Amino acid sequence: MIKQGYRLMIVFCVLFQSTFAQQPDIKKVFSDAEKQSMLMINTINNKKTNRLTFPRSLDKDSLKLVPSGDWTSGFWPGILWLEYEQSQKPELKEYAETFTRLMEKEQWNTDSHDVGFKIYCSYGNALRLTGIENENYKAIIIQAAKTLCKRFNPVTGCIKSWNSTSKWKYPVIIDNMMNLELLFAATRFSNDSSFYKVAVSHANTTLKNHFRSDHSSYHVVDYDTITGNVIQKNTAQGYADESAWARGQAWGLYGFTMCYRETKNIVYLKQAEDIAAFILDNPDLPDDKIPYWDYNVPDKIQEPRDASAAAITASALYELSNYSTNKKKYREAAGKILESLTRNYRSAANTNGGFILNHSTGHKPAKSEIDVPIIYADYYYLEALLRSKKK
Ligand code: GLY
């Protein structure tokens, strides 16, 4: 009898664990995240200058603030909007609005493709969550899309990510897929199909030139602006030109999933599914589903993870699950990533300067932001949690 009770207890524990494995306690995680954000607001208020306002990471335990021109600036207002979405607390909306307004001049910033990240994570969420209340937000999104399109060249068929360097003439990075969401939104708000055409051209050119036969992607593809031909394929943030930089794979997955949502082009869905297979079936993906910073780095055990790549992947998989016949597989995979992040990669309360997750890697080759909290990991983690609630 005792033996049977013991067996039942084990069965119960296993069942409980596997159920829990798919379901972080979202209410509790968001309530903890909010407390972290309040801690961060205090630190920002004590530290900020006129120029440095947006949290990006920790540098030797000290909060690293960046100006609105930094590519990561939009994630902080985005986080506040996502926390508002969950809690509906007016004070969170006020904070979100305050930091969103500080992004306004970025609609005109032609310096890089990052205007998409900056304006869509801030104003995109603002518009989504406040709706008609703020027609002005639509105008800002449309202007930002016009700014982004200034970097499009019909000869290359894509948007130039970074300005030219001694190494690259017309560098386009896989991350740039993320900026297309702004263009699709601007098309809806303006009825101007030129944004849509630029987005589709960029996606098609990336599809053609960025991917290897195993569906992993190069980080940087450089184009000749006279012929439109590819000059070289390299990496900037990955381990090697021929390696698979972890966050790059996540940007590609998220980007092509979003392009399918916006166009219903089955080719993009297939691409997203192929990228998902590269990530999920990868023998170099650790058991806890949080990748090392690059899938091909040798001596992995010594190498840092990239929680941001995992968070972006989880969020993308939830969206992909809505369009794919592999719904169950993708939801389960996303659930495992979220469970792992929640259980083993979250900051303890009142630590890490208010960041939610730890153990991301920004730019290992440049020895920058290695195994630290980074703001975009937190953004996509919260987005993934919210997406997990929608069946
Ligand atoms: N877009 C830059 C990065 O992912 O680090």
pLDDT computed for residue 16 by the predictor: 43
pLDDT computed for residue 315 by the predictor: 98
Q: Each residue of 259-268: pLDDT tens digit?
A: 999 999 999 9
Residue nearest atom 5 of ligand 1, based on CA coordinates: 362
How big is the CA angle at 218 (ends 186 and 358), to the nearest 5 degrees? Answer: 75
Q: Which residues contact 292 (CB under 8 A, 6 or more apart)?
A: 246, 284, 286, 300, 303, 304, 305, 306
Please report the atom of ligand 1 found closest to the CA of residue 237: 5
Q: Which two structure tokens, joined as six digits, stand for 389?
A: 């609630």
Q: Which residues line ligand 1 (CB under 6 A)?
A: 71, 175, 237, 247, 362
Q: How many angstroms separate the Cα of 52 from the Cα of each of 47, 55, 69, 102, 353?
A: 9, 8, 10, 11, 16
pLDDT computed for residue 346 by the predictor: 98
pLDDT computed for residue 22 by the predictor: 53
Which one, of 245, 224, 204, 217, lies nearest residue 160 by Cα?
224
**203, 268 Cβ separation under 8 angstroms:** yes
Cα-to-centroid distance, 362 and ligand 1 (Å): 7
Residues of the chain whose pLDDT is less than 70? Answer: 1-22, 132-133
Taking the C-alpha atoms of residue 55 and residue 77, their distance in angstroms, rounded to an integer, is 10
Burial class from Cβ neighbours inside 10 Å (0-12, 13-18, 19+) for residue 302 reads: exposed
pLDDT computed for residue 156 by the predictor: 98
pLDDT computed for residue 15 by the predictor: 43
pLDDT computed for residue 133 by the predictor: 63
Please report the atom of ligand 1 found closest to the CA of residue 376: 4
- For ligand 1, pick from 70, 71, 374 the residue to mutate: most ligand atoms within 8 Å of CB: 71
Q: Which two structure tokens, joined as six digits, stand for 117?
A: 């990240």
- Residue 8's CB is within 10 A of a number of other CB atoms, namely 10
Taking the C-alpha atoms of residue 85 and residue 73, their distance in angstroms, rounded to an integer, is 19
Taking the C-alpha atoms of residue 199 and residue 196, their distance in angstroms, rounded to an integer, is 5
